[in-house]
Amino acid sequence: MFVFVDGEEIPVEPGDVVRIPSNALHTVINRQDEELLWAALWWPEAI
């Protein structure tokens, strides 16, 4: 499984956490024949 963040491919495993900067282009890719479960959390940046 991989997460792409602004063109960078980051391999991930179960339990990993990936911080995605504000306004970054991103996607999750599952190249395996396994179920993929993920959670997305976000909140406003502090001013």
Per-residue pLDDT tens digits for 12-30: 888 899 988 888 999 988 8
Overall number of domains in the chain: 1
Q: Work out the pLDDT band at 3, boundaries 50, 70, 90.
A: very high
Domain enclosing residue 29, as ranges: 1-47
Structure tokens at 11: 């391999």
Q: Which residue has the tokens 């980051």?
A: 10
Give 44's DSSP letter. Answer: P
pLDDT at 47 over 80: no
Phi and psi based region of residue 32 (left: phi greater than 0; alpha: psi -120 to 50; beta: remaining): beta
Answer yes or no: pTM beyond 0.75.
no
Q: How far apart are CA 18 and CA 3, in angstroms?
A: 8
What are residue 8's phi and psi, to 5 degrees?
-90, 130
